[in-house]
Structure 1
Amino acid sequence: MRLPSRLIATLAVLPALASCSSEGDSRPPLTKEALAAIAQEPGAPIRQLAREVDDLFSKEDLGETRALVVMHGGTIAAERYAPGYGPDTRFVSWSMAKTVTAVLIGMLIADGRLRLDETPPVPRWQRPGDPRGEITLRQLLQMRSGLRHSEAIDPPYESGEVRMLFLDGRDDMAEFAESQPLEAEPGSKFEYSSNTTVILADIAARVLTRSRDPDVRRRAVSDYLHNRLFRPLGMNSMVPEFDRAGTLIGGSLIHGTARDWARFGDFLRNKGSYKGTQLVPRRWIEFMVTPSPRRGNYGAQTWLNRDPPADDDPLFATRGPRSLFAMIGHMGQYVLVAPDRKLVVARLGHSDETERPPMAQELADIVALYPGR
């Protein structure tokens, strides 16, 4: 049978049209580097995953992605680094450290050294008549202590966390944070606060040692973290920072490789379990990812992909999944955990305020490649 010439011409261009639609008309071909970043069985379509990973490193207006590790089912599905960075590079956590501090507190509660709904051991709050004595550990973890604070405001030198980290509070950060008066009734108001997490780190030091010697405090917290958390997880790169008073800078300064940050995310995905050992109770991780009574997209030192207030969503709640939660740090440090997809995505780099929202959408594109249960 002889086909009409018009039909023959149409059939001839179909393979080219299919190729264009699969890669996008304006996109360059995938490079060898992009494809080499993907494991043989990544749990998602290889070329699509390679494209999404490549976009994070090559698209304009997203900032600078320096490292990306995707883990699926506990194994690395994709891994890529920008020039000058690699598997041995330690990356600063910024506020991702808050989630580590929350796990530290959970371990101490499991040890019977702290109680969630009691006033924590902060001596200045326990003086007779001090209204801060009503603040509970739960309220500190959920960022609703009521303490006066302003985070990331202009001018920066008036911001509470900048003053604590770099100006008049830098030598004894906990003293600075704990001396702030109340601006709201404890429990009544959400106020994101790096200073609050330093208070939690000070509380940890106080229950691990009675000494006020900075070296003793530093050693007590560092040993506890390494012996009870980092070493059992194989997170051997982790380096926590301390201030001059020996307090862990638990809201912002812990360093580790991209693989170790992803490994910590996978530990959270498994609800505190690693290779059959429960390092922190499952119910504690469940508490960390339960919405605060005063903020739908925040749990206990952990961000949630749900119910954000207007114009304040650091994730992608409209795209789901609702079960996804995250560690998020200044300038675009992200560890995303999607339990229903057995997925962890660790992105480390440098993105400014305008670059972070589109960059987060690129991360959402990676998550979307993995089907949920």
Structure 2
Amino acid sequence: MKKITILSTLLCTSFFVCSEETDTTLNAYAAGYVANFTCSATFNAGKSKDQIDIDELTGIYPLIADTVKTLQANIDTEHKRVIVDYDIDKQRISVWRPRLGCVDLPVGASLKAATLVQAPFKENLAYQKDDGKPWQTLNGVNKATGNKALDEVIAQAFTRHYGEGARTSAILIASPEAILAEQYKAGFTPETAQRTWSVAKSIGASIIGVAVAQKRLDVTKPAGLESWSHPLDPRGEITLENLLHMASGLDSNKAGNRTDRVYMGGGLVSDTATHTALEVKPGSRWKYANNDTMLALRALRETFNDEASYLRYPYDNLLDKIGMQHTFLESDWQSDFILSSQVWTTSRDLARLGLLHLNNGRWQGEQILPKDWLSYISKPAPAQPPETAPGYGAQWWLYNERFPELPNDTIAARGNRGQYLVIIPSEQLVIVRRGYDLAGLKGFSEHDFTRDVLKALGR
């Protein structure tokens, strides 16, 4: 086994304190990454080993990239699980469940533990063909649109035109009535699920929105986590809205988007995100933090009495209602959804979520989200990112006056490796781009692509 050489420049953020994972932990992370991505890509997306090697296991975190290359995944198709051996006598296990995708067992867990994972669904709707509803018209998969300018823009999206490190896998452009364009790379179909990375945050916010509409949650009130309930704990003042705004004030290390222990290490949301201390007053600072999203969903989780009911909730109350049946919300091994990143879904399902927002939360006569939810998520939070980035609302990015080439009401869900769901209410337009952009190189520019699409459409 090739050991990882720990790079201080990657892990040390201060010359006063340098907190480094051991080689053994980093090897466990690498093995967990291979197990999870192989499991999800195999059983969520139906990908071959060659596709997984090319798409999922290249262009990734430099921290584990070299070690990932040395690991082999043992795919157990009968029991739908993946085992990865590392460090001679250790292994990582990822277990698939219908509709919920793969769950990573903790470091040290044996195969016996695989039978204990919650699996409340029996059916797997994602193996069915996507019927293209609710759109009345579909342009056709990988077909020319009849708009030469738009076809040229889409063709450029599958080159390096919008970013040196861009590797586009799908483009979908839709209005409420029609899919105007739908293009996939070779080997992909409308049913091919792909990891959303941080686009999951906006999906998570939509689930929160459902709970607000049902009066299960109130964004203005404290999140109410049990672990913060001691009267001396100042974290008890953190509101659900603070979490949605990325303004909890909690310590999330220097890079709040690095939650490796949960994402790759088999760690629990309840063991990590809930146990950090305040750094600043809640609401006073914007800081992009995966933990804030996980904590918002943890607040929803604590309104349920049992795991199975919580696991079913997003499906029964949102996904199934709008036809997102090729979507997998993955969780940790104690059934907390990791909705900061670990969702696998298709371009059409993301576009359906976009349509729900264009319809102000209404779907086929039913008000699923609060009527003002689009306005709420699109309102700039009190604390904002630096001026060089898009603005921020409630788990959605805002392309307002900072981006004069786009309509002022443009919002987007954005994820690692070039995942984008762009919603433009004033144009009644949804744009989805999926990719496998390479780490360390300039990724796909969703801003430039959206600008060019609008121009080609004469908007």
* CA distance 1:36–1:230, change in 2 (3 Å): closer
- 1:343 maps to 2:429: yes
Q: How does 1:92-241 map to 2 (within 5 A)?
A: 92-150=195-253, 152=255, 160-167=258-265, 170-207=266-303, 209-211=304-306, 217=307, 219-241=308-330
Counterpart contact for 1:38–1:77, Cα < 8 Å:
no
- Helix, strand or coil at the partner of 2:249: coil
Unaligned runs of 5+ in 1: 1-33, 41-45, 154-158, 212-216, 309-316
In the alignment, the residues of structure 1 paired with residue 431 and residue 254 of structure 2 have an alpha-carbon distance, to the nearest angstrom, of: 26
Question: Whose helix proportion is higher, 1 or 2?
Answer: 1
Name 1:262's counterpart in structure 2. Answer: 351
Question: Structure 2 counterpart of 1:262, which letter?
Answer: A
Q: 1:98–1:197: 8 Å Cα contact kept in structure 2? A: yes
1:20-99 equivalences under 5 Å are 37-39=143-145, 46-59=147-160, 61-99=164-202
Which is further off, 360-369 or 79-88? 360-369
Whole-Å separation in 2 of the counterparts to 1:298 and 1:38: 35
Alpha-carbon distance change, 187 to 36 in structure 1, aligned in 2, over 3 angstroms = closer
Q: In structure 1, what is the Cα distance between the partners aligned to 2:184 and 2:209?
A: 33
TM-superposition CA deviations, 1:174-226 (whole Å, max 9, x none): 3311100001111100011111111112111111x223xxxxx2x32332111
Aligned pair count reads 312
Structure 1 residues 148 and 196: alpha-carbon distance in aligned structure 2, compared to 1, 3 A threshold: same
CA distance in 2, matches of 1:124, 1:112: 23
Q: TM-score, normalised by structure 1?
A: 0.78
**Are 1:324 and 2:419 matched, yes or no?**
no
Matched residue SS, 1:282: coil
Query: CA 1:222–1:74 in 2, change beyond 3 Å: closer, same or farther?
Result: farther
In structure 2, the residue matched to 1:252 is 341
Q: In the TM superposition, what is the alpha-carbon distance from 1:227 to its structure 2 partner? A: 1.3
Are the aligned partners of 1:205 and 1:220 in contact in 2 as well (CA < 8 Å)? Answer: no
- 1:160 deviates by 4.2
- What is the correspondence of 1:248-327 to structure 2 with a 5 Å cutoff? 248-295=337-384, 297-307=391-401, 317-327=403-413
Per the alignment, do residues 59 and 83 of structure 1 end up closer, same or farther by CA in structure 2, a change over 3 Å counting? same
Per the TM alignment, residue 152 of structure 1 is displaced from its structure 2 partner at its CA by: 4.3
Q: Distance in 1 between matches of 2:255 and 2:278?
A: 19
Q: Give the gaps of 5 or more residues in structure 2.
A: 1-139, 386-390
| Cα shift readout 1:316-369 (whole Å, capped 9, x = no counterpart) | x13121110001111110011111111111000122454325454123211333
1:280 positional shift: 0.9
Distance in 2 separating the partners of 1:367 and 1:266? 18
| Whole-angstrom CA distance in 2 between matches of 1:340 and 1:73 | 12
2:52 is matched with none
- The percent identity for this pair of structures is 28
Q: CA deviation at 1:72?
A: 2.1
Encode CA deviations 1:97-156: one digit per residue, 9 max, x unaligned.
111111111221222222222112211211011111111111111110100013648xxx
Point out 4+ residue stretches in structure 1 off by more than 3 angstroms. 150-153, 357-360
Contact 1:332 1:350 in 2 (8 A): yes
Alignment partner, residue 452 of structure 2: 365
- The answer on whether the counterparts of 1:151 and 1:192 sit within 8 Å (CA) in structure 2 is no
Partner of 1:29: none
Structure with bigger RCO (C-alpha 8 Å, 6+ apart): 1
